[in-house]
Amino acid sequence: MEFCKYRRYVYFCAGSSSFKKLLSLILIFIASLYFSGVIVRIKSFFSGRKGPGILQPVYDYLRLFGKGTVYSRTTTPIFRLAPTVYFSSVLFAAFLVPFGRSKGLLSFDGDFVMFACLLAVGKFFMILMALDTGSSFEGMGASREALFSLLAEPAFFILTGSFALLTGHTSFYEIYSSFHFSGPASYALAVLAGFVLLLLVSVENSRMPVDDPKTHLELTMIHEVMILDNSGFDLGLILYAGTLKFAVYGALIANFFMDHSLPYYLLIPVFFAIQTLSAIVTGCVESFGVRFRMSHNAQFIFTLTSVGLLIFFGVLLTM
């Protein structure tokens, strides 16, 4: 009986054109509320600790949103503007992500290029923010962030360009709608694509094995050293933007494995199942993996580009 009520409700909502455009964004926001919490719980489980609740990161963000912000006298308005731009860039990138037969709020030819550019703008302002403090430590973190982001971009464009070549389309919605599982090769391509996207977002958010978010040793930090001078509402925006970015990439992964011919009341649970699985895999990687030496991070990121090239050659063989 409860399942029937849920199915009728989803059918009613899915019938609204305005709701269809918002559906992907709503699901991404819901997934972002527990994504980081699942990662923390997995890491706590494997380390033999009870750990906080799954929603504890949400409570931390709300606590930060309610606090005041302290600004250094040496900073310029760029420092105050950067957290908002960073969060807005991730939010607008989420507008481009479709869900099933529903387009994102924004959908057009070549929107995956816009997706990468939006994230790059946010990262650019974060780098400016770190340099604006005048701190040599934050400048060191900013230079590392810029280098690793530069090295990660080819993997993303090779990956999306390969599927654009395979499907003959250049927008996220049309690529996912045209991609069908027709044999072992297509399954292998989808798994490799999910693997690359999951590790790319780890690089984007400076997580293991590129960076350890728990370390506070200035000589080894990347992202954490960039936000040492942020506090209150601005710090909450930055931290939540990272969680939202995880959910956005998780949505990209989920779209590869969802059968778009299924009704919405089945697609939604599949979406959350894949998001949860992505969080669990990330937690396992951070639990059993070790942080690479700083000099090995570039080699690791280039490995993602190599896997992207493998997907490209696989697409050429299946065409």
User: Is it the case that residue 24 has pLDDT exceeding 70?
Assistant: yes
pLDDT for 68-93, tens place per residue? 888 988 899 999 999 999 999 999 99
Q: Looking at residue 16, what is its pLDDT?
A: 55
CA angle, 193 as apex, 158 and 98 as ends, to 5°?
90
pLDDT for 170-206, tens place per residue? 899 999 988 887 778 888 888 899 999 998 998 888 8
Give the CA dihedral 307, 313, 318, 319, nearest 10 degrees. 130
pLDDT for 90-142, tens place per residue? 999 999 999 877 888 888 999 999 999 999 999 999 999 999 988 888 888 88
Q: Is the CB of residue 252 less than 8 Å from the CB of residue 111?
A: no
Higher pLDDT, 308 or 222: 308
Q: Looking at residue 12, what is its pLDDT?
A: 45
pLDDT for 131-164, tens place per residue? 998 888 888 888 888 888 888 899 999 999 999 9
